[in-house]
Chain A
Amino acid sequence: MTTSTNGMGAPSIRVDLQLIADMVEPNSRVLDLGCGEGILLDYLNRFKRVDGRGMELSMAGVRAAVAHGLSVIQGDADTDIKEYPSGAFDYVILSQTLQATREPKSVLEHMLRIGRRAIVSFPNFAHWRVRLSLLRNGRMPVTETLTYQWYDTPNIHLCTIRDFTALCAELGIEVERAISLDSKGTIRFDAGGRFANWLGEQAVFLLRRR
């Protein structure tokens, strides 16, 4: 699932990462939770000149990121996010990680405490392929975005676009922008609607404190 910047100018990163990057204002302060080897951070550093920090659970990811010159620490988003002071960042990013957190609600609240804005992307469990797979086979869906078997998946808190929208409403979080992507990775709908929930394989939300 890794793509990389080629370093010489023309960047090429995963479509969902590109969508996230496009939401970030240049020269802002960014914290990327679950940053992996730092592909997005590296892109944001180079092309948006952000003051970027990362947190990653896997030491292998952290080592690769730091060896690449990025400011990344080993840490667990669920617990370590609580240490940061309020308003420390302009953006706190959680890319394809929300569904793997133990307390997604608390993580989301902390993201909007320490950041003015939050950007969250996640796989949509209500995508028609997922629904069809469950309907037809009666087994836990395994798809291109949900590649794990039920017994070994790190995704312990899967949700749908409508679930997420409802949680934002409950927490008083304003959805500033919402984009859903289909399996070919192209932007199809503004999320929030029922169509997006059927057709979006994953979603990217730009959120802000109300």
Chain B
Amino acid sequence: MSTSQSFGATNAALPGHRLELGPDTPLHLDCGVDLSPVTIAYQTYGRLNAERSNAILICHALTGDHYVAEEHPVTGKPGWWQELVGPGRVLDTDRFFLICSNVLGGCMGTTGPADVNPATAKPWALDFPVITIADMVRAQVRLIDHLGIDQLFSVVGGSMGGMQVLEWAARYPHRVFTAIPIATAARHSAQNIAFGEVGRQAVIADPEWCQGAYALQGRRPQNGLAVARMAAHITYMSEGALHRKFGRNLQGRELTYGFDADFQVESYLRHQGSSFVDRFDANCYLYITRAMDYFDLAADHGGILANAFRGTKVRFCVISFTSDWLFPTRESRSIVHALNAVAANVSFVEVESDKGHDAFLLDEPEFHATLSGFLEGAAEHRGLPRGGR
């Protein structure tokens, strides 16, 4: 297991493709820094057609990565969208060329704070520049350029992935034919920034964090990161789902009158926390949650969200879930309102589910039917051959 190693050291052994951006092509970041060199780790599924018109970029969420539809190299678990991706599935690998890259600032191969800063030969840690959602998308644009694709058939993603989708549609409208933001928002709410701060403070309060320089000292703030994950995990579920799964069920036969995990829900959360630290870096968690906090698409367009989409030809499909209280339907609705204000082509569905925010990762037939119907309709408009179903 990789628990005692720094993440940067293990990355070279990870499966998948890599794009290296050299010193002559630095990445211009929002904070003013020109970042170089940059590695972008990515995976692809399916084949690019001769017209290069069948590519779909999948944008992963906060703690996701580019192992969308294959066994995860660290955890051994199935890919996070395995349900959706494959031959004959909603994201049909027989029809589409699917691309997913690890986000900038991530810890699964793309350059981030856990990697070694070539200027100092030490891990970047807190010397890594603060990145934004727009920066993540800039890195993806480089990748799409590298793959020789002028226009993506679709950009799709949930949660933070949905933020990237919105950023793509707003900033590179001519390069996307359709955009599918799922369970997301055009700006991070005060409540979500607050949750992010709790997570970050849990990491920072861990003495093993060492002002971010833990890798250099051979230490790791596992407890802090686990607590951050536990708190966040609650926000990904719904009260209904937690109740259905655990209720007040006990681990043992009776209360222990102590502070061990008496309740099953406690034990579940502890497991979520401890397994997370095996595959995620604490500083990456700080940087990526920060990027989400900074996201405010309207602010980048004179305070009016509609301005972000003026004149857009992109076909949108906005999807939310009834029990999602982290990115509730009203956030999606405000995106739809802005798109209506510019008479954009938009579909909007609120899927009924009691699974909370995580519903976009789970087997939700109505969600899959919506996605598949939208893609089918759009493929017809794009002149792509019909699907087998």
| Residues in B neighbouring A108, C-beta threshold 8 A | none
Complex: chain A residue closest to B377, CB-CB: A69
Q: Does B350 contact A (CB under 8 A)?
A: yes
Find residues 66-83 in chain A having any chain B CB closer than 8 Å to their own CB: 66-75, 80, 83
A89 to B345 Cα, complex, angstroms: 12
Write the nearest CB–CB distance from B386 to chain A, whole angstroms. Answer: 11
Choose among A53, A69, A83, A88 the residue that contacts B374 (Cβ–Cβ < 8 A). Answer: A69
* Cβ contacts under 8 Å, A69 to chain B: 373-374, 376-378, 380
**Choice from A62, A66, A70, A83 contacting B340 with Cβ under 8 Å:** A83
Task: Verify B373–A85 contact, CB threshold 8 A.
Answer: no
Closest to A45 in B: B377
Q: Decide if A51 is an interface residue (CB 8 Å cutoff).
A: yes
Does A84 sit at the interface, judged by CB under 8 A? yes
The answer to whether B343 and A88 touch across the interface, beta carbons within 8 angstroms, is yes
Q: Are A83 and B337 in contact (CB under 8 A)?
A: yes
Q: Is the CB of B349 within 8 A of A66?
A: yes
CB of A48 within 8 Å of the partner chain: no
Complex-state Cα separation, A160 to B317, whole angstroms = 39
Instruction: Output the least CB separation between B89 and chain A (Å).
Output: 15
Q: In the assembled complex, which residues on chain B have CB atoms less than 8 Å from the CB atom of A14?
A: none
Residues of A within 8 A of B352 (CB): 59
Do residues B366 and A71 form an inter-chain contact, with CB atoms below 8 A?
no
**Cβ–Cβ contact B347 & A73, under 8 A:** yes
A209 within 8 A of B: no
- For the complex, give the distance between the alpha carbons of A67 and B349 in Å: 10
Checking B315, B343, B350, B376 against A59 with a beta-carbon cut-off of 8 angstroms, the contacting residue is B350
B369 interface residue per 8 A CB criterion: yes
CB–CB A59/B349 < 8 A:
yes
B341 engages A84 (CB within 8 Å):
yes
Q: Which residue of A lies closest to B379 (CB)?
A: A69
| Contact of A89 with B343 in the complex, beta carbons under 8 Å | yes
Task: Provide the bound-state CA to CA distance between A67 and B366, in Å.
Answer: 9
Question: How many Å from the CB of A118 to the closest CB on chain B?
Answer: 16
Docked complex Cα distance between A53 and B336 (Å)? 13
Query: Once bound together, how far apart are the Cα atoms of A85 and B370, in whole Å?
Result: 27
Residues of B within 8 A of A88 (CB): 343
CA distance A63 to B346 in the complex (A): 13
Chain B residues lying within 8 Å of A72, measured Cβ to Cβ, are 347-348
CB distance from B307 to the nearest CB of A (A): 13
Given A59-B352, A63-B349, A63-B366, are A70 and B341 neighbors across the interface (CB < 8 Å)? no
Q: Are A63 and B336 in contact (CB under 8 A)?
A: no
| Contact status of A71 and B346, CB under 8 A, knowing A83-B341, A85-B341 | yes
Collect the chain B residues with CB atoms within 8 Å of residue A74's CB: 348-350
Number of residue pairs A-B, CB distance < 8 angstroms: 67
Interface flag for B372 (CB, 8 Å)? yes
**A67 lies within 8 A of B370 (CB):** yes
A39 vs chain B, min Cβ distance (A): 15
A70: chain B residues within 8 A (beta carbon) = 347, 377
Q: How far does the alpha carbon of A67 sit from the alpha carbon of B345 in the complex, in Å?
A: 15
Which chain B residues numbered 171 to 223 have a C-beta less than 8 Å away from chain A? none
Task: Please give me the residue from chain A that is nearest to B345 by CB atom.
Answer: A71
* Residue interface bits B354-385, CB-to-A below 8 A is 1, else 0: 00000000000010011011101110100000
Asked whether any CB of chain A lies closer than 8 Å to the CB of B299, the reply is no
> When the two chains form their complex, are residues A66 and B345 in contact, meaning their CB atoms are under 8 A apart?
no
What are the residues of chain A within 8 A of B345 when measuring CB–CB? 51, 53, 71
Taking a contact as CB atoms under 8 Å apart, the answer to whether B347 and A71 are in contact is yes
Q: Is B342 an interface residue (CB 8 A)?
A: yes
Partner of B369 from the list A67, A75, A80 (CB cut-off 8 Å) is A67
On chain B, the residues within 8 Å of A66 by CB distance are 317, 347-349, 370, 373-374
Asked if A67 contacts B348 (CB within 8 A), the reply is no
A29 to B380, CA, bound (A): 18
Do the beta carbons of A71 and B315 come within 8 Å of each other?
Answer: yes
Which residues of A sit under 8 angstroms from B315, Cβ to Cβ? 71
Q: Which residue of B lies closest to A81 (CB)?
A: B340
- Find B370's partner among A53, A63, A83, A84 (CB 8 Å cutoff): A63
B349 CB → nearest A CB, Å:
5
| Smallest beta-carbon distance B207→chain A, Å | 50
Q: How far is the CA of A71 from the CA of B352 in the complex (A)?
A: 19
- A71→B347 CA distance, assembly (Å): 5
Docked-complex contact B341 and A67, CB < 8 angstroms: no
**Nearest 6 pairs of A and B residues by beta carbon:** A69-B377, A67-B373, A88-B343, A73-B348, A83-B340, A67-B369
10 contacts between A and B (CB under 8 A): A66-B347, A66-B348, A66-B373, A69-B380, A70-B347, A71-B315, A71-B347, A75-B348, A84-B340, A85-B342
| Seed contacts A66-B347, A66-B373, A84-B343; 12 additional CB < 8 Å A-B pairs | A51-B345, A59-B350, A66-B374, A67-B370, A69-B378, A71-B347, A72-B347, A73-B318, A75-B336, A75-B340, A80-B337, A80-B340
